[in-house]
Amino acid sequence: MKRKYISTIADTLRECGLKDGMTLSFHHHLRNGDHVVNMTMDAVAALGVKGITVACSSLFPVHEHLIGHIKSGVITGLDTDYMSGPLAKAITGGILPTPVMFRSHGGRPRAIGEGSLKIDIAVVAAPAVDAMGNITGTEGPSACGSLGYIIPDTQHAAKVIAVTDHVVEGGLSRISIPHDVVDHVVVVDKIGDPAGIVSGSISLTRDPVALAIARNAQSVIRASGLLQDGFCYQTGAGGASLAASLFLREDMRAMNIHGGFLLGGITKYMVEMLEEGLFDNVFDVQCFDLSSVKSIAQNPRHVEISADTYANPNRKSNCVDFLDAVLLGGTEIDLDFNVNVTTDSNGNIIGGSGGHNDAAAGAKLTIIVAPLVRARLPIVVEKCTTLTTVGSTVDVLVTERGIAVNPARKELADKLRDARLPVCGIEDLHDQAVRMTGKPRPYERGDKVVGTMEYRDGTIVDHIYATK
């Protein structure tokens, strides 16, 4: 009988044939509470293996620990969809010998499926595992809900390891990843801290600027004519986006509209709309808070989906292509409606696409919500510092001082003007911002390329350079 349960991560990696130069993949559903990436790379270092590429769907401040493994040569490559915190700062400074490959949440499973991202060992932070090796994210002391981003990895990796702190005797009733793709299971004291799932700005805002933006976004959706029965919707987790969603909820009640599905990273506000009966389903690739973790475990209409189903452009169908509207943020938007969510205006890495360019490409109506000025810098710029989402997929920029519509969407601009919304040219918003802040000096970039920006279809659209 094949030995599935092994006592330590190091022994399991050895059993899987770990060697120099391999690619190990991970996922980010425990977000800033994740322990598994760090403890696995510690085991790799203890085995004396070097030259590893870490392919993790997102990296957070908790992964500062990896900096030491980069300095020692254990890690020589990174492949991710999002990066923030001290590790991102070190990458911007040029610590890694090779550029980080930045993908989108839909581009990552596309790359895995077509073989351009080849995974030797996939490591699953598994909140619960049964005796056969079936995995779920919805049970156990470290439950994180959906495991959607690691599902494609487990289907294509040469070996799959489940690292868990909760073994269920007698079998799981709900399975995220089936036993027949799992080679080995390791039981550890703790795989992470679920409190770390709630990181970033996942809370309602009282900021009057953000609320004004939210009201304008609500009005744009209403005036577009898309808010009808069957309405399908995704939003980011920023304050203005969440407020706009609650305003939209008011509209749906008042207009007696019943929506189709809610999509993306899921928050308690989306769960509340599901439970109120405003939507048929929530399709969940990632839980953003503990309320959504509880919901996906209990509500059959709260459905776990894989990253393939969410946004892989190579699949015959995916959820983002059925979106009516999506609200997204941006650190910069330029005069061609291109959007940057990867770096700040000084070239420092502070994020990444995640599902940004996937949802923008799929939705009938893509709205960027942003203040005109942030930290005394204009958000509307002549040219984005880093290109994340191409302007041809963006329909509207909503600010507190006006609404700019992509010139390619003239019929939409006419509808918004008919609704007496404050439509203006994006050049007008840029001029307003510069009058408020003065024209910022362009940042001085270094010569070393530290990041490669891959669009969801595999096209390289930009590079990130080390800062001086």
Per-residue pLDDT of the chain (468 residues; tens, 9 = 90+): 566 999 999 999 999 999 999 999 999 999 999 999 999 999 999 999 999 999 999 999 999 999 999 999 999 999 999 999 999 999 999 999 999 999 999 999 999 999 999 999 999 999 999 999 999 999 999 999 999 999 999 999 999 999 999 999 989 989 999 999 999 999 999 999 988 888 555 566 778 899 999 999 999 999 999 999 999 999 987 888 889 999 999 999 999 999 999 998 899 999 999 999 999 999 999 999 999 999 999 999 999 999 999 999 999 999 999 999 999 999 999 999 999 999 999 999 999 999 999 999 999 999 999 999 988 889 999 999 999 999 999 999 999 999 999 999 999 999 999 999 999 999 999 999 999 999 888 788 899 999 999 999 999 999 999 987
The burial of 1, by beta-carbon neighbours within 10 Å (0-12 exposed, 13-18 middle, 19 or more buried), is given as exposed
Identify the DSSP state of 177: B
> Span 5-196: which CATH code?
3.40.1080.10
Contacts of 324 (CB under 8 A, 6+ apart): 226, 227, 231, 232, 233, 363, 364, 365
Q: How many CB atoms sit inside 10 A of residue 418's CB?
A: 10
Cβ atoms of residues 384 and 332 within 8 Å = yes
Structural domain boundaries of the chain?
A: 5-196, 208-443
Cα(312)–Cα(369) distance, rounded to whole angstroms? 25
- Tokens at residue 464, please? 């990130």
Q: Do 311 and 428 contact (CB within 8 A), yes or no?
A: no
- Give backbone dihedrals phi and psi of 369, rounded to 5 degrees, phi first: -110, 130
CB atoms within 10 A of CB 135: 27
- Please state which CATH class domain 208-443 belongs to: alpha beta
**134: which 2 tokens?**
């079936």
- Cβ atoms within 10 A of the Cβ of 316, count? 5
Q: Which residues contact 277 (CB under 8 A, 6 or more apart)?
A: 258
- If we measure between CA atoms, which residue out of 45, 238, 16 comes closest to residue 120? 16
Distance CA 369, CA 215 (A): 11
CA 128 to chain centre: 23
pLDDT of res. 204 = 65
Q: Say whether 208-443 and 5-196 share the same fold.
A: yes
The dihedral through the CA atoms of 389, 390, 396, 401 has a sign that is positive
Retrieve residue 279's tokens. Answer: 């939507």
- CA nearest neighbour of 287 among 162, 174, 141, 137: 137
Between CA 117 and CA 147 the distance in angstroms is 19
Whole-number Cα distances in Å, 231 to 272, 318, 356, 389, 416: 16, 16, 20, 24, 19
- Please give the span between the terminal C-alpha atoms of the chain, in angstroms, as a whole number: 57
As given in the structure block, the two tokens for residue 68 are 């030491």
